[in-house]
A and B are shown apart, each in its own frame.
Chain A
Amino acid sequence: MRFTLNAREVELNVAPLARLLDVLREDCGLTGTKEGCGEGECGACTVLVDGEAVCACLVPVAQVEGAEVVTIEGLGDDHPLQRAFMDEVGAQCGICTPGMILTAITLGPRPSLAKIRRGLAGNLCRCTGYEAIYRAIHRAS
């Protein structure tokens, strides 16, 4: 199994139907991708596959063969969204934050509030009521 992970080529010997989530966390040691529900409802496991936000708990790893996968670790530690999430307290418990930030990346520049709401509808946060997350995304854009 070959794919690009955070701008690096990786080759893994894993079961093709293994969940991308488990492969990332256990075989690649990238634990920034979180599991909240295992059924694609909460979005905590969101990663980017060829630029699109997907739930890694629903993706068999075979589906990313040859694709470009980005996890939160791929953003480093100084991405404008990361800074904005810190400045606006967009993260409380933090478990949804990696998925939120990766989904927010797909919203494009200067998203309207309506677009943010639609775009983040698959990412649950139980702490913030989402308001600080909107503020963070506005600040970053």
Chain B
Amino acid sequence: MREIRSMLNAVGQSVPRKDGIGKATGQARYADDLRFPGMLHGRTIRSTIPCGRLAAVRLGFDPAGFTVVDHRDIPGRNVVTLIADDQPCLVEREIRHVAEPVLLLAHENREALLGASVALEEEPAEPVFDPERSPTAFKTILIEKGDLAAGFAEADHVVEGTYCTGHQEHVYIEPQAVIAVPEDGGMTVYGSIQCPFYAHRALAVILGDAVARVRVIQTETGGGFGGKEEYPSGIAAHAALLALKSDRPVKLIYDRVEDMLATTKRHPAIVRHRTGLTRDGRLVAMDIEVILDGGAYQTLSAVVLSRGSIHAAGPYRCDNIRIAARAMFTNTPPNGAFRGFGAPQTQFGVEVHMERIAEALGLDPVRLRERNLLRPGDTTATGQRVGQDCAALEVLRTAVRRSGFRRKRKAYAGTGRGIGLAMYWHGSGFTGSGELKLASRATIELTATGVRVLTSSTELGQGTRTMHAQIVADALGVPYEQVEVAMPDTGLVPDSGPTVASRTCMVVGRILQRAAEEIRAKLGDATPAEYFRRHGPLAVTGQYEQPEWIRWDEIDYRGDAYAAYAWGCDVVEVELDRDTWEVRPVRVTVVNEIGKAIHPALARGQVEGGTVQGLGYALLERVVMRNGAMANAQLTNYIIPTTLDTPKLDVVLLEHPYDGGPFGAKGLGELPIDGPAPAVVNAIRQLGIDVRGIPAVPEAIREAACASP
């Protein structure tokens, strides 16, 4: 018989991670750890020019023992299908960026494979590198609220500014890795893949009728951060083409240089603000222009631009707003998904701009924000009325109090120390009606010992398996230990949508909660194991149900952009070395409101990890582009934060439950990367240095300091 259990036994507790033991003992199996009989190693030959035509390919090796694949070997369509079908799987004639895949090789001996030389005859054409001069927009978005001209007419002050953010490389510590295995007339791909069904769809198009069945299985994944969202679809296809031609398993692993040179990065951005304010600091008009550098193919640029635009006015109320945004083509490797997805770029712009407004109007930066922050019932740029869970003011006040912001701000004036803050917000789940279109599904089935959760949500380190098991355990009223979570395998699990957009807990977790409640009703007094013994298998598949209040107009960009928002405020203290111009963060206070922490230690881990990634974005991580290629494509000179670069972090989690999330949870994964960069730059501003771009590396700080009055 079922024990009487209180409502929450697992949720809200930092239960052991499902994958903890495997990771702590080295037993967890990542793609490169797998071997198959007869397996070959694969290699990708890439273009060396940013723009032009491929005239000829010459093999400089004896092809015996090699499998060689070019575009003519593609049985289906030569396209990596995503939003727009513009990116070829392999170059035919046109070259749009450096490191574009042209030819694939496989050999059983890795040394022989790496020793094979291939000469490409390429005819260069004039590339476009400046997104502002690019003639081609992948996507434009216009958000309009109120009457901008009337707003400016009402303004006592107008403040303008331009803010720039650079590329950012994901640096998941496990590089891209897949293995394609021909099996029974089908093709199975194992890999470090964030979205198995994206890869599945892309493979089906490329392989066409040549295989009876495509199956994608996620292996343990050594970090993703968006970098393994859409990009692995192409790699999976490359391995599959080699496997198809050789009829042998093919392992395709990128080394770090190839990974950094060829794969997607965070979109660089230019954000321009022109803002009207009353004398006492009330926002009356916000005119915002956003330009993203999309790179050579569309990938996800249209939706990155969408999220970036919607967040561009920050968590502020203003009656008159115009946000004009565009994502532009350039001859650089395509930029793609990266934690935050456009929002870190635009929120950097608005928060550095708010600090400049405070300076220009002689207002206290906290008071200026307090004055304008969204309160429950206020409307966003798209006209969405924010709910009672809106915690913007509370996160600000908590962060200010906890960090001693006002006292330190006075104490640091005129010293080599500075303190700055930034407000931010992040919408959970797909934009607008996106979740409705995804129609995600998730399954729970009974087993002899409990239940098993089947979803396509991937564990990337963020704790998917653990968190889903907690939700199911409490919704079902069974011990956490009795809930298993299956590895995502497209042959086995339903499509729960991609593991992106801070949706895995709030959206997929909610579907699981409902499915668990449905099973609970069927079980009656029996435990899952008892029911299974008596009645045999039982599975329930839940599907996403959109909250009935959501209205979204895709054309005019009006309405309820996200089902929920999480809220944040960062306070960063920095120290400037006047000899080296290096700015070091010395203390960071992060206050995040996330609805409900399903697993407090995992939630804290997301906040700490995202914050440090954001500090790297702000101060260290510079992608140097030369002639369309990353010139510092190695970890020796692309620097991410080490233990010696990270300051003391003070993290506070607040919980204002959102009704539509499991046990009140909102999305959390991306939120913490929105705040650090503007907070750092605002702290640098207190040092009297007018920085308006990131990364604020020593050279940039020196230049800004010499230019500042």
* Residues of chain A whose beta carbon lies under 8 Å from any beta carbon of chain B: 25, 30-39, 41-42, 44, 71-73, 75-77, 82-83, 85-89, 91-98, 101, 116-118, 120-132
B605 within 8 A of A: yes
In Å, the complex CA distance between A98 and B32 comes to: 15
Q: Give the distance to chain A from B451, nearest Cβ to Cβ, in Å.
A: 23
B635 and A42: CB pair below 8 A?
Answer: yes
Q: Which of A38, A87, A94 contacts B222 (CB 8 A)?
A: A94
Q: Which residues does chain B contribute within 8 Å of A42, judged by CB atoms?
A: 173, 256, 635
**A36 in contact with B174 given A77-B21, A120-B643 (CB within 8 Å):** yes
Q: Which residues does chain A contribute within 8 Å of B175, judged by CB atoms?
A: 36
A97 and B23: CB pair below 8 A?
Answer: yes
- Residue on B with the closest CB to A85? B24
Q: Which residues does chain A contribute within 8 Å of B21, judged by CB atoms?
A: 77, 82, 86
**A124 in contact with B644 given A72-B25, A82-B25 (CB within 8 Å):** no
Q: Which of B17, B221, B255, B635 contacts A86 (CB 8 A)?
A: B17
In Å, the complex CA distance between A30 and B602 comes to: 29
**A39 in contact with B634 given A92-B462, A95-B222 (CB within 8 Å):** yes
B646 within 8 A of A: yes
Q: Which residues does chain B contribute within 8 Å of A123, judged by CB atoms?
A: 643
A117 and B26: CB pair below 8 A?
Answer: no
CB within 8 Å: A-B pair count: 174
B609 within 8 A of A: yes
**A93 in contact with B29 given A36-B173, A38-B255, A82-B24 (CB within 8 Å):** no
A73 and B26: CB pair below 8 A?
Answer: yes
In Å, the complex CA distance between A128 and B643 comes to: 11
In Å, the complex CA distance between A118 and B644 comes to: 7
B636 within 8 A of A: yes
A131 and B649: CB pair below 8 A?
Answer: yes
B172 and A126: CB pair below 8 A?
Answer: yes
B581 within 8 A of A: no
In Å, the complex CA distance between A118 and B173 comes to: 20
Interface size for B (C-beta < 8 A) is 55
- Residue on A with the closest CB to B460? A93
- Residue on B with the closest CB to A26? B35
A35 and B601: CB pair below 8 A?
Answer: no
Q: What are the 7 closest A-B residue pairs judged by CB atoms, nearest first? A: A32-B26, A94-B23, A93-B461, A95-B222, A92-B461, A129-B612, A72-B26
Q: Give the distance to chain B from A85, nearest Cβ to Cβ, in Å.
A: 5
In Å, the complex CA distance between A76 and B26 comes to: 9
Q: Give the distance to chain B from A133, nearest Cβ to Cβ, in Å.
A: 8
In Å, the complex CA distance between A77 and B225 comes to: 29
In Å, the complex CA distance between A76 and B25 comes to: 7
**A31 in contact with B256 given A91-B24, A93-B222, A127-B605 (CB within 8 Å):** no
A127 and B636: CB pair below 8 A?
Answer: no
**A44 in contact with B33 given A82-B24, A95-B223 (CB within 8 Å):** no
Q: Give the distance to chain A from B177, nearest Cβ to Cβ, in Å.
A: 10
B634 and A41: CB pair below 8 A?
Answer: yes
B611 within 8 A of A: yes
**A75 in contact with B173 given A94-B461, A132-B605 (CB within 8 Å):** no
B76 within 8 A of A: no
In Å, the complex CA distance between A78 and B642 comes to: 28
Q: Give the distance to chain B from A121, nearest Cβ to Cβ, in Å.
A: 5
B608 and A129: CB pair below 8 A?
Answer: yes
A94 and B220: CB pair below 8 A?
Answer: yes
Q: Which of B26, B172, B604 contacts A71 (CB 8 A)?
A: B26
Q: Which residues does chain A contribute within 8 Å of B26, judged by CB atoms?
A: 30-33, 71-73, 97-98
Q: Give the distance to chain B from A81, nearest Cβ to Cβ, in Å.
A: 8
**A95 in contact with B174 given A39-B634, A126-B613 (CB within 8 Å):** yes
B122 within 8 A of A: no
In Å, the complex CA distance between A100 and B461 comes to: 15
| Contact pattern, B 30-49, Cβ under 8 Å of A = 1, otherwise 0 | 10110000000000000000
Q: Which residues does chain B contribute within 8 Å of A128, judged by CB atoms?
A: 605, 608-609, 612
In Å, the complex CA distance between A9 and B605 comes to: 40
Q: Which residues does chain A contribute within 8 Å of B613, judged by CB atoms?
A: 126, 129
| Contact pattern, B 548-590, Cβ under 8 Å of A = 1, otherwise 0 | 0000000000000000000000000000000000000000000
In Å, the complex CA distance between A121 and B649 comes to: 17
Q: Which residues does chain B contribute within 8 Å of A75, judged by CB atoms?
A: 25
Q: Give the distance to chain B from A21, nearest Cβ to Cβ, in Å.
A: 11
B644 and A117: CB pair below 8 A?
Answer: yes
Q: Which residues does chain B contribute within 8 Å of A93, judged by CB atoms?
A: 23, 172-174, 221-224, 460-461
Known: A85-B24, A92-B462. 4 other contacts (CB 8 A): A31-B26, A92-B463, A127-B461, A132-B608
| Contact pattern, B 599-634, Cβ under 8 Å of A = 1, otherwise 0 | 001101100111111000000000000000000001
**A94 in contact with B28 given A37-B634, A126-B640 (CB within 8 Å):** yes
B221 and A32: CB pair below 8 A?
Answer: no
Q: Give the distance to chain B from A59, nearest Cβ to Cβ, in Å.
A: 18
| Contact pattern, B 297-338, Cβ under 8 Å of A = 1, otherwise 0 | 000000000000000000000000000000000000000000
**A125 in contact with B24 given A31-B29, A132-B608 (CB within 8 Å):** no
Pairs across A and B, CB under 8 Å, 28 listed: A25-B33, A30-B26, A32-B27, A36-B173, A39-B634, A39-B635, A41-B636, A72-B26, A75-B25, A77-B27, A86-B21, A91-B24, A92-B223, A92-B462, A93-B221, A94-B19, A94-B461, A97-B23, A97-B24, A120-B642, A124-B171, A124-B642, A126-B223, A126-B613, A127-B223, A128-B609, A128-B612, A129-B646
A130 and B25: CB pair below 8 A?
Answer: no
Q: Which residues does chain A contribute within 8 Å of B635, judged by CB atoms?
A: 36-37, 39, 41-42, 124
Q: Which residues does chain B contribute within 8 Å of A36, judged by CB atoms?
A: 173-175, 222, 256, 635
B134 within 8 A of A: no
B20 within 8 A of A: yes
Q: Which residues does chain A contribute within 8 Å of B17, judged by CB atoms?
A: 86, 89, 91
Q: Which residues does chain A contribute within 8 Å of B463, judged by CB atoms?
A: 89, 92
B14 within 8 A of A: yes
- Residue on B with the closest CB to A122? B642
| Contact pattern, B 125-155, Cβ under 8 Å of A = 1, otherwise 0 | 0000000000000000000000000000000
Q: Which residues does chain A contribute within 8 Å of B404, judged by CB atoms?
A: none
- Residue on A with the closest CB to B616? A126
Q: Give the distance to chain B from A75, nearest Cβ to Cβ, in Å.
A: 7
B537 within 8 A of A: no
Q: Which of B28, B601, B611, B634 contacts A88 (CB 8 A)?
A: B601
